[in-house]
Amino acid sequence: MAERVRRQDSAVCLDDCRCASRLHDLSTKIRDNLRGARPEVRYRQDTQGSLMPSLEFTGPAGRLEALLDEPDSAPRAAVVIAHPHPKYGGTMHTKVVFRAAKAFQRIGCAVLRFNFRGVGLSDGVHNAGNGEHEDYRAALELMADQHPTIDLWAAGFSFGAWIAMNVGATSDRVSLLLGIAPPVAHHAFDGIRHSTKPKFFVHAERDQLCSLKTMWRFYGELPEPKELVVIDSADHLFDGKTTEVGDAIEDLLSDWPGIP
């Protein structure tokens, strides 16, 4: 794929309504098929009133709390999204993570977002990234088990981008990587420096943790295929610009092979 770099303008993000009966069938499937782990499944409403299964699955440090968003039709890809740094308030409910999950859902993906160890109802304590890498591997295994015949994509925001992209780059099952505001100035992204998997990035023009100049330098060192979207005037948290992150993901991946 030829290198393309685009800038994203404001747009309106619309969220799909979920069907409770479909989610009940999905929850039954998860309980029956997950390698005997039998996660506990409940239902909750998101901020738009949509129903989704809230579940817990087993990770290396114990239970991990998660939310699963499914498209209205059979999913074309499965995605696991990792949240920002737990020590700075990052959770699976972070606005950017929520917008990213809904964007993936709108383009036909099944999307799992979860809380790392020690966050929310997840067991364990923060492990400076080492344990979080293992948590993410467990989440990938969950989605790979549930969707063995479709593509598996790794995605994350900030600290979560570091986790997801490094784990995804070395996983034979993962076919695509997406990082939102990856902190390449603070963490080693060695896992993707030589990866020929498709790599997509959404970055903030005024990112305080990783300047756009630093991001450009890192991006330039990566092999193809790759693509970068820069959100105008946005800071690291995309304050006031979170819907544009979702728009950027749709713009990048809605016509990606396998996604109609």
Read off the pLDDT of residues 212-259 as tens digits, 9 standing for 90 and up.
Answer: 999 999 999 999 999 999 999 999 999 999 999 999 999 999 998 744
22 has pLDDT over 90: no
pLDDT, residue 47, reads 47
Going from the N-terminus, what domains does the chain have, and what CATH number goes with each?
Answer: 4-253 (3.40.50.1820)
pLDDT, residue 238, reads 98
48 has pLDDT over 60: no
Query: Does the predicted model carry a pTM greater than 0.85?
Result: no
Poorest-confidence range of 31-35, 197-201, 230-234? 31-35
Query: Mean pLDDT over residues 113-122, rounded?
Result: 95
CA torsion 115→119→125→126, rounded to 10°? 70
User: Is there a contact between 69 and 151 (Cβ–Cβ < 8 Å)?
Assistant: no
Sign of CA pseudo-dihedral 114, 115, 117, 121: negative
Poorest-confidence range of 7-16, 160-169, 178-187? 7-16
How far is it, in rounded angstroms, from Cα 102 to Cα 98?
6
Which residues lie below 8 Å from residue 101, measured CB to CB, with a gap of 6+?
67, 69, 79, 81, 111, 113
